[in-house]
Amino acid sequence: MNSYTRIKAILFKELLQLRRDSMTLRMIIAIPLIQLLLFGYAINTNVREIPVAVVDQSHTALSRVLQQTIAATQVVKFTQQFTHVEAAQAAIARAEIRAVLVIPADLDNRLARHQSAGFATIASSDEETSRPVAQWVVDGSDTMIAAAVKSLRAMPLGELFRRPVNRTTPTFEVTLLYNPEQRTVVNIVPGLVGIILTMTMIMFTSAAIVRERERGNLEMLITTPIKSIE
């Protein structure tokens, strides 16, 4: 009997044993499928509809159109509205929202300067001309959300002016809270701690059960006069 025949016999024997053990067979098939579905839906790098708030100090038709234009991108979703920036930052600290859009009272003037800067033929050194239209205050602890909101920094406002404007002029100013340097270790390490602890506990439990079985402690536990639930 050659090696191939012996391996084939062992494989056939294991398949028969697996067919008799229906519980193990279901676990082999079901657990990978469940994990595939969970991780497939949970791990998603497409950030959409981030819950944000707005502090509208302008209260004009342009400010409402600006909010609608930003919401049309589907990157953020306005869920709350505050009258003061401090209250909005407190909501960010409570994790109710992930960012806040602060619309200044002089929105009309800023939009006019932003439009005129877009059609200027010579770059101007005037700070008033290069001032952004509004400001984003973002929770920087999650780098993916911070990057998604920062992608709106140079958002074109051609729909407001009904003609294209200069995209080199920043539309929004972005301020990051809690993680201004955008270090990925801030949000990666807590997730790694959970994964490492889960894998470690599974390995330790498996090793402990095998060791207790070798020492005969499982048989002693079975013969102990206590109930299974106890």
User: Is the domain of 36 the same as that of 143?
Assistant: no
Per-residue pLDDT at 228 exceeds 80 = no
Per-residue pLDDT tens over the stretch 17-35: 878 878 878 888 888 888 8
Dist. CA 157–CA 57, nearest whole Å: 19
Range of weakest confidence among 27-36, 166-175, 201-210: 166-175
Residue 115 — φ and ψ, nearest 5°?
A: -70, -45
- What does the pLDDT read at residue 122? 37
Last residue of a domain, one of 161, 177, 193: 177
pLDDT for 123: 42
Claim to verify: residue 40 and residue 54 sit in the same structural domain: no
Both 73 and 157 in one domain: the answer is yes
| Domain encompassing residue 77 | 50-177
CATH code: domain of residue 146: 3.40.1710
Q: Are 161 and 81 in a shared domain? A: yes
Residues 61 and 173 in one domain: yes
Q: Which of 28, 44, 60 is the last residue of a domain?
A: 44
Give the span between the Cα atoms of 45 and 27, in whole angstroms: 29
Q: Note whether 82 and 140 are same-domain residues.
A: yes
Q: Domain count of the chain?
A: 3
Average pLDDT, the chain: 81
Using the structure block, give the residue that is written with the tokens 């790098």.
45
